[in-house]
Copies of this chain bind each other. A is one copy, B any other.
Amino acid sequence: MTVRAGVLGATGAVGQRLIQLLDPHPAFEIAALTASESSAGEAYRDVAKWRINTPIPDDIAEMTVRATEPRSVPDDVDLIFSSLPSSVGEAVEPAFCEAGYVVSSNSSNARRDDDVPLTIPEVNADHLDLIEVQRERRGWDGALVKNPNCSTITMVPPLAALEAAFGLEQVTVATLQAVSGAGYSGVTSMEIIDNAIPNIGGEEAKMETESRKLLGEFDGAEVNWHEARVDASCNRIPTLDGHLENVWVDTVEGATVEAAAEAMREYPSLDLHSSPDQLIHVFEEPDRPQPRLDRDRENGMAIAVGGIQETEGGLQFNCLAHNTLRGAAGASVLNGELLAESGYLG
């Protein structure tokens, strides 16, 4: 049974990655593409400034782009992938859910809402059942599921492994983020060549809150956020793809490099189509992971970790993920796969 999928915001940087991941996909088929009003009615090829180094799939190229509203999307679409500016997402996603669509969204709106599951399937798949609470409270036939911010996704799997092994008290993280995280036109070349920007508006707060919700426990009624103190500092650097992060953790119990590496290596992946065979790749070399060398592991869906060291309070390590694959489009597709497997579609 093929799931018919729609993509909201299909011309953007993440929208293009969604198309790359969904065409072809063993379980999903793209049935509708939407974009802003000005692109509606046009062929996708003519309105998308395609920037990926694999060509646009032929059938997608000729598809007619639709407006981003429920009545423009066919009724037999089963699953909506959304990658919209948060202000648009905030206005449009609830309308889709109300109209009965299940939405797997990468947009940053509503991620902290009490009744919206924020999910990394390998980490907290059980949070998905928050959908029951959501449907009851909002009276929706559809549902809204979010994946976290790209910089949060990068560090949470290793943090989850360490939480399970040693308990977490405090997390301090500095990020070195790629320009693609800001969208196609988000960072101009004059801003970033021979430069770095020590602030990404709102990103620090996202990392601090989303990570605590992801690591929290769902008790059937609500998610009790993890109580660790999380301090983040986010930097933009001149790389194209791949967010690299320096992380320090203070652990409840004493941790060793060996035990930490083992906890990460053995942290389980899932059998979903887009899940990597091994979720966390741990490097012995101190100068890895590096964005250009390691962002493409397992089709860009693995988390790479290196430089694990003991500190007075716990551990220090570096982690990396492909921000538009594992951190955005791939995260939404993975949530879609989890939704399909969990019986929330149709």
A104 to chain B minimum Cβ distance, whole angstroms, is: 25
Shortest Cβ gap from A304 to chain B (Å) = 10
A198: B residues at CB distance < 8 A: 176, 244, 246, 287-290, 306-307, 318
Q: Is the pair A293, B51 in contact by a Cβ cutoff of 8 Å?
A: yes
A106 sits at the interface (CB 8 A): no
Within 8 Å of chain B (Cβ to Cβ): is A136? no
Within 8 A of B (CB), among A170-220: 172, 174, 176, 179-180, 184-199, 201
Is A248 an interface position by the 8 A CB rule?
A: yes
Minimal Cβ-Cβ distance residue in B for A311:
B231
Stretch at the interface among A30-38, A235-243, A270-278, A330-338: A235-243
Closest B residue, CB atoms, query A287: B199
Q: In the bound complex, what is the Cα–Cα distance between A287 and B202 (angstroms)? A: 12
Q: Shortest CB–CB separation between residue A124 and chain B, in angstroms?
A: 25
A44 to chain B minimum Cβ distance, whole angstroms, is 16
Question: How distant is A17 from chain B, measured CB to nearest CB, in Å?
Answer: 13
A235 to B191, CA, bound (A): 20
Q: Please report the C-alpha to C-alpha distance between residue A141 and residue B181 in the assembled complex, in whole angstroms.
A: 53
- CB proximity of A205 to chain B, nearest CB, Å: 11
Which residues of B lie under 8 Å from residue A237 when comparing CB positions? 176, 196, 237-238
Smallest CB gap from A192: residue in B = B189
Residue contact A287 to B248, C-beta cutoff 8 Å: no
Interface presence of A291 (CB below 8 A)? yes
Which residues between 149 and 177 of chain A lie within 8 Å of chain B, taking CB atoms? 172, 174, 176
Closest residue of chain B to A187 (Cβ to Cβ) is B189
Hey, which chain B residues are within 8 Å of A191, CB to CB?
51, 189
Given A174-B233, A198-B244, A231-B311, 13 further pairs, Cβ under 8 A: A53-B296, A54-B296, A172-B248, A174-B174, A187-B188, A189-B192, A189-B238, A193-B240, A194-B291, A197-B290, A198-B288, A198-B318, A201-B286
Chain A interface residues toward B at CB < 8 A: 13, 51, 53-54, 172, 174, 176, 179-180, 184-199, 201, 229, 231, 233, 235, 237-240, 244, 246, 248, 286-296, 306-307, 311-312, 316, 318
The 8 A-B pairs with the shortest beta carbon distances in the complex, nearest first, are: A174-B174, A233-B246, A195-B292, A199-B287, A198-B318, A179-B189, A174-B246, A187-B189
26 A-B residue contacts at CB 8 Å?
A: A51-B190, A53-B292, A53-B293, A53-B296, A172-B248, A174-B246, A176-B198, A176-B237, A184-B190, A185-B190, A186-B188, A187-B190, A193-B194, A193-B239, A193-B240, A194-B238, A194-B291, A195-B293, A196-B237, A198-B287, A198-B289, A199-B307, A233-B246, A233-B318, A235-B246, A237-B237
